[in-house]
Amino acid sequence: MSTKKALITGITGQDGSYLAEFLLEKGYEVHGIKRRSSLFNTERVDHIYQDPHIKDPRFFLHYGDLTDSSNLTRILSEIRPDEVYNLGAMSHVAVSFESPEYTADVDAIGTLRLLEAIRFLGLEKTTRFYQASTSELYGLVQEIPQKETTPFYPRSPYAVAKLYAYWITVNYREAYGMYACNGILFNHESPRRGETFVTRKITRGLSNIAIGLDQCLYMGNMDSLRDWGHAKDYVRMQWMMLQQERPEDFVIATGVQYSVRQFIEMSAKELGVSIRWEGQGVEEKGFVDSIIGDKAPAMTVGQNIVAIDPRYFRPAEVETLLGDPTNAKNKLGWVPQITLQEMVAEMVAYDLEQAQKHALLKKQGYSVAVSRE
Ligand code: NDP
Ligand code: GDR
């Protein structure tokens, strides 16, 4: 059998990097689209990079952008992939309120550009298409838990753009008989999660405070409830969805939800620290209640380590998300393998190591900027 070829948009992101690793292990030839940037932006895939001069390389990066139809058409015509994973997106919900038009261009029309390029090249009967849809589609939730049949009610420019992408994927499946499907994925995290998403902001922020690189973690809505899984489990499912006889859309989630405040408590616990909460609403603060062990040498009992900054509140919030992955379990045999506790431990261990490295550099006289967002 000839080697299968996959094209991944968003390969430099969290999911793209895990999916590329996964497909390489399965023997695929993996192609990815990376954007030109003024600094290197391939850190998450550098460990699987292959020098194009080696014999029979199986990993390729192409310059491109979801806003550029001719570029997408050319890349697709050169590769003629068996599978396309459309993971590229302006993926930050809060930022989408600042850049709504760009978000729509990339996340909504970008998906159309890819689908149309596949059709234009006559690949619609041979190339399978995965769309990175999202639990943000449920927004103001109409049913708990959310499943494939739950009505959508998007609450941000990001979610509205993803709604278009969801339906255009369904439409190309129905209109042209394409094997195209949506994975409606609930939040998934890892040590490779972007630093400005809430879980990574917490594990990184608390680790920096533990080592003395920062003093306080400033948060938005800590009452938000999310269903958090591990990105590694979720990319496996993206591949499984393209291996079925018929294309179908699936909800991917753990079926358990926690608040942002609970995620902070779990992360602190990993550092041996328990938190005492005081105050309500924007006045709420988190203080160190006790410390066990030596992972947080710079923290002291009574220290204020969490506070609210209203600038992290969103113009419209998604208060609660809880997925029902029964369909994925029954039809595909998918169940998440990594627990939230294991994931928190992995993320804190990674961020603590980073903080310790930065502290060492600082001690040696190098300047270390601890950016917050
Ligand atoms: P990331 O933000 O980590 O990665 C996004 C990727 O898209 C990056 O590689 C980024 O490139 C690329 N990208 C951004 N803009 C463009 C563009 N104009 N053209 C081409 N590529 C672009 O996201 P995740 O890996 O977390 O998520 C992957 C996908 O899944 C996204 O579509 C996201 O919306 C969706 N999703 C994510 C969930 C999650 O919890 N992680 C849940 C549900 C859906 P660069 O590195 O240069 O910025
Ligand atoms: P989300 O993820 O919006 O669910 O989108 P994010 O981690 O940004 O926010 C989760 C919840 O935490 C609240 N929150 C904060 N969020 C951030 N980023 N920073 C803060 O300081 C903060 N304080 C509280 C938010 O208000 C929100 O309720 C992610 C993205 O990966 C999307 O691309 C994806 O589609 C969805 O998950 C599923």
pLDDT per position in the chain (373 positions), as tens? 689 999 999 999 999 999 999 999 999 999 999 999 999 999 999 999 888 788 888 999 999 999 999 999 999 999 999 999 999 999 999 999 999 999 999 999 999 999 999 999 999 999 999 999 999 999 999 999 999 999 999 999 999 999 999 999 999 999 999 999 999 999 999 999 999 999 999 999 999 999 999 999 999 999 999 999 999 999 999 999 999 999 999 999 999 999 999 999 999 999 999 999 999 999 999 999 999 999 999 999 999 999 999 999 999 999 999 999 999 999 999 999 999 999 999 999 999 999 999 999 999 999 887 888 8
65 lines ligand 1 (CB under 6 A): yes
SS3 content of the chain, % helix, strand, coil (to 5): 40, 20, 40
Pocket probe for ligand 1: among 7, 11, 15, the residue whose CB has the most ligand atoms within 8 Å is: 15
Pocket probe for ligand 1: among 14, 85, 91, 135, the residue whose CB has the most ligand atoms within 8 Å is: 91
At 288 the three-state DSSP class reads strand
Catalytic residue set: 134, 136, 158
- What is the CA(223)–ligand 1 centre distance, in A? 25
Q: Which residue type sits at 246?
A: R
- What is the CA(16)–ligand 1 centre distance, in A? 8
- What is the CA(320)–ligand 2 centre distance, in A? 11
235 lines ligand 1 (CB under 6 A): no
213 lines ligand 1 (CB under 6 A): no
DSSP string, 169-233: HHHHHHHH---EEEEEEPPEE-TTS-TTSHHHHHHHHHHHHHHTS-S-EEES-TT-EE--EEHHH
Q: Give the Å distances, CA to CA, from 95 to 110, 241, 278, 313.
A: 18, 29, 30, 12
CA 35 to ligand 1: nearest atom: 47
Which pTM was predicted?
A: 0.98
- What is the CA(93)–ligand 2 centre distance, in A? 7
Q: Which ligand is nearest to the CA of 260?
A: 2
